Structure 1
Amino acid sequence: MSPRTELVTTHALYGSTTKVFSYPACADNSAGVIFAIHGFRGDHHGLTRIIEQLPQYTIIVPDLPGFGASTSMQVDHDVDGYAIALNDLADELQLPAGAILLGHSFGSLVAAKLATQRDFAALLLLNPISELALDSSQAFIAKLTGFYYTLCAKLPSRLGEAVLRSTLSSDAMSLVMTKSKDPQMRGYVRDQHRAYFGGFHSRDTLAQSYQASISGTVGEYSRAIGIPALLVGGMLDELGTAQTQETLRASFNQAELVMLPEVGHLIHYEKAPETAAAITEFLARQDV
């Protein structure tokens, strides 16, 4: 599959110079527009495999302010701050009324919040945050990680930056989160994390965004969302078990849940074809 055409635009959002990456549909008649929000410590590259699997859609992915090629905002880098900024960005981009909204992981929180503020045709949530990290089986790791980000933000600048951007840090995350036993896939995930895991603008932004990522769930917004929603989770995801994903699904007015086997929190890497197939089938049923 050949790489898609990429268009890059620059936008001013609350003090941030925000880069937006757009991928026009590969067919004369686009099936629609997807506005996509990446996860914590990621950028638009993290959704590359999903984008490649959905050539019939025009897909627009901003690097969230403070990550990737976008600088930090002058407002809080939390769910509310990002939702406000992306709502303004959607206006500037003149998103069509029938646009589809997609969010992965932390991006699922932002997308869910944005869906309560703006009209979309459908909502796609990949590895949605369905339980509080501090109440889950990963509570100790979440607390330890929070301490890690707070400490690195207080260390002397050169030392703190070096620790946060180290290969050791990204490789440790890859080792823990990747469930595939395929060496090629494991290598791909490792290389993606090495290349983009360190793409944050400031230590303070990183620490603030992490706290936001573990402090809420999509369930805080789901009951206020009236559009059709698709949730795609991983059966081995410690950050969102099958039980809590089903509870989350039931809290929506109209939602479907697809749980993919043998994958955890990285379905956008490890199960991109299966995830894209679930998206395509769902949107076909919604006629959007």
Structure 2
Amino acid sequence: MLGATTAAWSYGDAHGAPLLLVHGFRGDHHGLEGLAEAIVAAQPDIRAIVPDLPGFGASAAIPGRTHDLDLYGEWLREFAPAALPPRFALLGHSFGSLVVANAIAGGLTPSRLVLINPISAPALEGPQAILTQLAIGYYRAADLLPERAARALLGNAAIVRGMSEVMAKTGDPELRKWIHGQHASYFSTFSDPRTLLEAFRASVSHTVIEYAEAIAMPTLLIAGDRDDITPLPKQLELDHRLPESRLRVIPGTGHLVHYEAVADATAFILEFLSTPDPAVAGGAEPVESHHQGAAE
């Protein structure tokens, strides 16, 4: 795609109804693998496809291009029709929500859209602004270092663990241990420090709300009520801005719904995908919350 190889993983029936999942910043397909596997296990006639974003995991960075949000949106608009039939559902988590929103604004037309922990609040404003500026400094410092030193800083086990501790909200010690292991294994599989810095800037410079007017298809929003990156009031705002959306809120969960509440997210997604289009209400639909089930 765009002159570079995109690696993608497929789960479930090769001829099933396609669901394309786009992962978040600094991760790769492993972040959504558990959710993809849970979806196809519960609904065997679905095919889940999870690519690694350009510059992450096994996907190469796009040569000669700045990895901003427009680039990622362009990549998705090229990848989706090449890998999927014309009618497909699309899911984005965190930074992935920005990628899919940008792609839709540029003309991508999924039949249905699922956004998990969508980025609905400006990272450079509000209570998270100071932390965001510190993170920008961290990535910028790494970009100025030689390659080996930069990778050592970006992959520093203590820093990665600190990020993981902040994001994880579960009180289950075994699940927390597993989440930390996932981040330790896959949080540093980026192609190079410059691409990582560019992608980070893209992740904190936009919100899905910017693209709300373009998102006209039935949309499911899934949010944790303890998400530190996008507070619940901003998710409510996004829900009200979309003409055909439903917001599901999972209590006790933060930005890692795809790790901490897989069972709930799977149930919500399958219910949504099986609901006839006219039954998906818009702004008049009440916000629904669901008690957290056992994570898988």
TM-score (norm 2): 0.89
Verify the 8 A CA contact 1:222 1:252 in the aligned structure 2: yes
Amino acid at match of 2:8: V
Residue among 159, 167, 177 paired with 1:187: 177
Secondary structure at the counterpart of residue 130 of structure 1: coil
In structure 2, the gaps of 5 or more residues are 281-296
Secondary structure at the counterpart of residue 111 of structure 1: helix
Name the structure 2 match of 1:261: 251
Residue among 84, 89, 107 paired with 1:100: 89
Name the structure 2 match of 1:109: 98
Amino acid at match of 1:44: H
Amino acid at match of 2:60: T
Verify the 8 A CA contact 2:117 2:222 in the aligned structure 1: yes
Verify the 8 A CA contact 1:136 1:239 in the aligned structure 2: no
Q: How many residues align?
A: 272
**Alpha-carbon deviations, 1:64-104, whole Å to 9, x = none?**
110001111022212110111121112222x2222001000
Counterpart check, 1:119 vs 2:104: no
Counterpart check, 1:221 vs 2:211: yes
Question: Cα distance, 1:225 vs. partner?
Answer: 1.5
C-alpha separation in 2, matches of 1:91 and 1:227:
18
List, as ranges, runs of 4+ consecutive aligned residues in structure 1 with deviation greater than 6 Å: none
Question: Cα distance, 1:23 vs. partner?
Answer: 1.3
Name the structure 2 match of 1:37: 22
Amino acid at match of 2:227: D
C-alpha separation in 1, matches of 2:111 and 2:136:
36
Counterpart check, 1:25 vs 2:13: yes
Amino acid at match of 1:186: R
The percent identity for this pair of structures is: 41
C-alpha separation in 2, matches of 1:231 and 1:78:
24
**Alpha-carbon deviations, 1:161-189, whole Å to 9, x = none?**
11111211211111111000100110010
C-alpha separation in 1, matches of 2:100 and 2:145:
33
Verify the 8 A CA contact 2:167 2:228 in the aligned structure 1: no
C-alpha separation in 2, matches of 1:227 and 1:156:
46
Question: Cα distance, 1:262 vs. partner?
Answer: 0.5
C-alpha separation in 1, matches of 2:220 and 2:266:
12
Question: Cα distance, 1:204 vs. partner?
Answer: 0.3
C-alpha separation in 1, matches of 2:273 and 2:127:
33
Verify the 8 A CA contact 2:33 2:50 in the aligned structure 1: no
Counterpart check, 1:275 vs 2:265: yes
Secondary structure at the counterpart of residue 232 of structure 1: strand
Question: Cα distance, 1:226 vs. partner?
Answer: 1.2
